[in-house]
Amino acid sequence: MGLTQVKWQTCSILAVLFGGCHVDVIPDRDLTYSAIGETFFRIHLYAKANGTLPPSLNLLPERSGYTNQITDAWHRPLAYDIDADGILTIRSLGQDGAVGGSGDDGDIVVKYRGRDGTGKVIAGQELWVVDGEIKQ
């Protein structure tokens, strides 16, 4: 076996060993946004089935094949609120668990319209998850 062939085999083995060790890590903030998005979809399913908004995230239906988590990436419960105008807010206080902050410590807040101007629940409508989000 020639020196070139030994070098080629060595490089191939190293490429397999180290190339196969690559792991993608999803940042905690992205995991939290994913949990919030999934939670809003489950709110949609609840509203569609019940004609009302859920008073608690603990009442949401579970989806087969999904994590169905109502916690953030730091394992704290997501905060859920419905104001007098029917605006639903889901919030994570970030890594530090305190209001405010920046980076991973910053709050993650997503809002949706749960009712229209007349007070009618719109969260169960087919395009609510797309149309109801309030961009900040």
Residue 37, class by beta-carbon neighbours within 10 Å (0-12 exposed, 13-18 middle, 19+ buried)? middle
Given this model, what pLDDT does residue 21 score?
Answer: 61
Classify residue 87: in a domain, yes or no.
yes
**pLDDT for 130 beyond 70:** yes
Residue 2 belongs to some domain of the structure: no
Cβ(60)–Cβ(70) below 8 Å: yes
Residue 108 in any domain: the answer is yes
List the domain range (segments joined by +) for residue 95.
28-134
Residue 89: pLDDT band with limits 50, 70, 90: very high
Residue 120 falls within a domain, yes or no? yes
- The pTM assigned to this predicted structure is 0.79
If one counts the domains in the chain, the total is 1
What does the pLDDT look like over 6-21, one tens digit per residue?
A: 677 776 676 666 666 6
Residue 22, domain member (yes or no): no
For 108-117, write each residue's pLDDT tens digit.
999 999 988 8
Confidence tier at 3 by pLDDT (50, 70, 90): low
Contact between residue 109 and residue 91 where contact means Cβ atoms under 8 Å apart: yes
Nearest residue to 112 (alpha-carbon basis) of 65, 49, 47: 47
127 assigned to some structural domain: yes
